[in-house]
Structure 1
Amino acid sequence: MRPVLTPAELSALPADLPQWTLDDEAKTISRDLKFKDFRQAFAFMTEVAEVADRMDHHPEWSNVYNTVSIRLTTHDSHGLTQSDIELARRIDSAASGV
């Protein structure tokens, strides 16, 4: 089981990942992304799916037309871990490339 983030690490999240929202219980981060159209949204999801598979850490997400909603948490740790932060960074990188 991966260790959950410390309070100090959690307090740094807004500066480190400004486009992500930390939930009230500090157990998940989320972000909505809008793309030009469905094809672009789906291409983004395909790219992130490859990254998530390599990391063996998968997002909770949904897609409605050009919007992708993503929620990250580490279920077996019951909170946020470094794996969530790393995946969020990679998602941000993928989003900037689309």
Structure 2
Amino acid sequence: MADLLDDTAITSALDGLPGWERDGDSFVRTAELPSFPAAIAVVNRVAEIAEERDHHPDIDIRWRTLRFRLSTHSAGGLTEKDVGLAGAISEQLDAAQG
């Protein structure tokens, strides 16, 4: 099982993850894409990454607005798995938003 991050580590991780916020025991990011197909394309790429890492975000899709929520449920909070996946999601969003 992954080790939980303490508050200092979480704050430090968020410093390197622009657009992400802490919401209790989760990292959350909302992003608006240029179109619905662009949003779905990001979701599909994130799904592939999540499968490779065996770590899956909660994703809310509202037309062209995506909201990602990350937490390591098996550990009961935030771990390095969440930090890594947040970074990978950010890369996909940055590429899609140009």
Decide: shared fold, TM above 0.5.
yes
Deviation at 1:18, TM superposition (A): 2.4
Which moves more between the two structures, 10-19 or 37-46? Answer: 10-19
CA distance in 1, matches of 2:14, 2:48: 26
Q: Please give the secondary structure, in 1, of the residue aligned with 2:49.
A: helix
Other-structure match for 1:68: 66
Deviation digits for residues 53-98 of structure 1 (CA, Å, limit 9, x no counterpart):
0000000111010001110000010100000000000000011111
Determine the structure 1 residue equivalent to 2:7. Answer: 7
The secondary structure found in structure 1 opposite 2:74 is: helix
TM-score, length-scaled by structure 1? 0.93
Aligned match of 2:51: 53
Q: 1:14-33 counterparts in 2 under 5 A?
A: 14-23=14-23, 25=24, 27-33=25-31
Q: Which amino acid counterpart does residue 17 of structure 2 have in structure 1?
A: L
- CA distance in 2 between partners of 1:56 and 1:13 (Å): 21
Q: Cα RMSD between the aligned structures?
A: 1.0
Name stretches of at least 5 consecutive residues in structure 1 with no aligned partner.
Answer: none
Q: Which runs of 4+ in 1 moved over 6 A?
A: none
Unaligned runs of 5+ residues in structure 2 are none
1:90 aligned partner:
88
Distance in 1 of aligned mates of 2:85 and 2:41: 17
Shift of 1:11: 2.2
